[in-house]
Copies of this chain bind each other. A is one copy, B any other.
Amino acid sequence: MGQIIKGKPVADAISEELTKEVVELKAKGITPKLTIVRVGANGSDLAYERGALKRCDGIGIATQVVELPEDIIQEDFIKELKKVNEDKSTHGILIFRPFPKQLDESVIKYVIAPEKDVDCFSPVNVAKVMENDSTGYAPCTPSAVIEILKHYNVPMKGKKAVVVGRSMVVGKPVSMLLLNENATVTICHSRTQDMPKVCSEADVLVVGIGKAKMIDSSYVKEGAVVIDVGINVDEQGNLCGDVNTGDCTEKASMITPVPAGVGSVTTSILAKHVVKACKLQNNL
């Protein structure tokens, strides 16, 4: 019977470490600050925002929310974003996406200051993830996956990691991060032939494909570590992941739950990136 590995202990450990770092920064007269840029007020953005603000507050990171009207035009949005870029008190910027239709993400991503882009929106940070350049910022969710694996002492070096999904928010960046940890990485997706066989060779299986409970025990090797990045709502209206956790728990040696798994760690990563950005911007 595998161990259910929760996100909270990982988030707590990161927060504890960051709290100490923030005390040291404040002693130098520096307060790390996150500015969130939100267009409109959709429920999931607001839920994540509450979590992020609470997390930052607990650590001692200052926060600000720039709320912009749902119908803001591109030119005005860019003007507002440039103000945040230039605000010297802001070290990290998180912009909620997707945008309403009138805003062109493919233009705006070039506007955010890369050194403040703590969730990998800028192409500069996308390139740094691929290049394994430690001055960059990987997206928070794939970074959370790696932090969980490290926290629970899961060996990655030389091991077979299989990633299910090839999105720019999970699959591709997490593959690059696993490669940086010296895993042998396989990327699967909707066109993969005989996916259960491919997945069942994995020592570490990371799933982010957006299909409720798709991964059952036929995809899991005896003793594998399974990280479930999916967030879906099942037929009963309950939150669930991409992994059928109940079915896989027997074979997996460790498995993350949904909820209370990867999702619990992302705001800590966000906070970690803000502190890192603050230090880099102060040459510390």
Contacts and interface: CB of A to CB of B under 8 A. Distances in A.
A111 interface: no
Interface of A: 110, 123-124, 126-131, 157-160, 166, 168, 172, 175-176, 179, 182, 184-189, 191-193, 198
Nearest to A193: B158
Nearest to A195: B184
Contacts of A185: 186-187
Given A124-B124, A184-B198, A185-B186, 7 more contacts: A123-B126, A123-B128, A158-B192, A160-B193, A160-B198, A166-B179, A184-B193
Given A128-B123, A130-B130, A157-B191, A176 B172 contact: yes
Contacts of A110: 124
B186 A186 contact: yes
Contacts of A159: 193
A195 to B, nearest CB: 8
A88 to B, nearest CB: 22
Choose among A159, A176, A184 the residue with the greatest number of B CB atoms under 10 Å from its CB. A184
Given A157-B191, A189-B184, A172 B123 contact: no
Judged by DSSP, the binding face of A is mixed
Contacts of A168: 130-131
25 contacts: A110-B124, A123-B124, A123-B126, A123-B131, A126-B126, A127-B127, A127-B130, A129-B130, A130-B168, A130-B172, A131-B168, A158-B192, A160-B193, A160-B198, A166-B179, A172-B176, A172-B179, A175-B187, A182-B189, A184-B187, A184-B189, A184-B191, A184-B192, A185-B187, A186-B187
Chain copies in complex: 2
Contacts of A157: 191
Contact of A123 (B127, B182, B186, B192): B127
Given A123-B123, A128-B123, A182 B172 contact: no
A126 B187 CA distance: 19
A136 to B, nearest CB: 9
Nearest to A180: B166
Given A126-B130, A128-B123, A172-B130, A179 B184 contact: no
Contact of A158 (B166, B176, B191): B191
Contacts of A188: 184
Contacts of A130: 126-127, 129-130, 168, 172
